[in-house]
Amino acid sequence: MLLAIDVGNTSTAIGVYGGRKLTGHWRISTDRERTSDEIGMLLLSLLSHSGIGPEMITDVIMCTVVPPVMHAMSNAIRKYLGKKPIFVEPGIKTGINIKYENPREVGSDKIVNAAAALKLYGGPVIIVDFGTATTFCAVNSRRDYLGGVICPGIKISAEALFERASKLPRIEIAKPRNVIGRTVVTSMQSGIVHGYVGQVDYIVSLMKQEMGEEGIKVVATGGMAGLIASESKTIDEVNPFLSLEGLRIIYEMNNPAHESQS
């Protein structure tokens, strides 16, 4: 079985694949202060809860945008699972041509998402990831990663209103019944939700014009993807497991024998 781990700034997605089937998945908070022993025991607990013993894990693949966590996570995997993790980093096969001016600036999470979107939906494609930041990535039909857009994330924006405006409360991010709010809370919810829907649709429309190709698919992932996609006019697909699928796909690219057995 393959253990796939995507370490983000706010949360970490963990999945176990039996062949190409996602047999177990979890999301935990990303804590830069966790020791390798704490991470190791947490991984064993999650696996055990799904009836998966450490001896059943044959390989581990990881991507991370949080370097301080990489060392502790890698040590935990070596000590508690007895495996040397594979990292999505320069030199690994991804099937993507990076056209960024400095390819090393592209986060491994973006490459993982792009690999998954191309395999599952084909190109050209735009990936919208609602994470700590909201990111937009453009990949053309020639599998070229063209670049993208980075915006403050939904939760960051909502938290900024609470912290910087003295009379505004901390709110739950949810779609209000009406656009015109009649309370402070519903007014803020309307601004956050509909504001981000407008942002997504506008940016996607500009990206499509600039890419200049027909049939561009728009795929959304991340914690708020479903909420925004339900109102968006441009999002075609929502895939909450896009990063985990991307890790599996990249693993198979680099392990042909495994792919032929799946």
Domain chopping of the chain, boundaries? 2-87, 97-245
- Per the model's pLDDT, the better-predicted residue between 261 and 248 turns out to be 248
Superfamily of domain 97-245: ATPase, nucleotide binding domain (3.30.420.40)
User: Roughly what angle, to the nearest 10 degrees, separates helices 242-254 and 108-121?
Assistant: 90
Please compute the mean of the pLDDT values over residues 250-255 and round it to a whole number.
Answer: 92
- Look over the chain and give the mean of its residue pLDDT values, rounded to a whole number: 92
CATH topology of domain 2-87: Nucleotidyltransferase; domain 5 (3.30.420)
pTM of the model: 0.90
For residue 260, the model assigns a pLDDT of 40
pLDDT digits (tens, 9 = 90+) for 146-172: 999 999 999 898 888 888 887 888 888
Burial class (CB in 10 A: 0-12, 13-18, 19+), 140: middle
Joined tokens for residue 221: 């992932």
pLDDT digits (tens, 9 = 90+) for 178-235: 999 999 999 999 999 999 999 999 999 999 999 999 999 999 999 899 999 999 999 9
Q: Do domains 2-87 and 97-245 have the same CATH topology?
A: yes
Residues with catalytic function: 109
Spatial separation of the C-alpha atoms in residues 118 and 48, rounded to whole Å: 33
Residue 227 near residue 173, CB atoms below 8 Å: yes
Joined tokens for residue 198: 């407008």
Residues whose CB is less than 8 angstroms from the CB of residue 79 and which lie 6 or more positions away in sequence, other chains included = 36, 37, 40
Please compute the mean of the pLDDT values over residues 35-64 and round it to a whole number.
Answer: 94
Spatial separation of the C-alpha atoms in residues 257 and 253, rounded to whole Å: 9
Residue 15 near residue 73, CB atoms below 8 Å: no
pLDDT digits (tens, 9 = 90+) for 83-95: 999 999 888 999 9
Burial class (CB in 10 A: 0-12, 13-18, 19+), 219: buried
> Residue ranges of the alpha helices (H) in the chain?
36-49, 67-81, 108-121, 154-164, 184-211, 225-229, 242-254, 256-261
Please compute the mean of the pLDDT values over residues 62-72 and round it to a whole number.
Answer: 89
User: Left, alpha or beta for 208 (phi > 0: left; psi -120 to 50: alpha)?
Assistant: alpha
For residue 257, the model assigns a pLDDT of 65
For residue 258, the model assigns a pLDDT of 57
For residue 169, the model assigns a pLDDT of 87
Concatenating the DSSP letter of every residue in 86-131 gives EE--TTS--S-EE-SSSGGGS-HHHHHHHHHHHHHH-SSEEEEEES
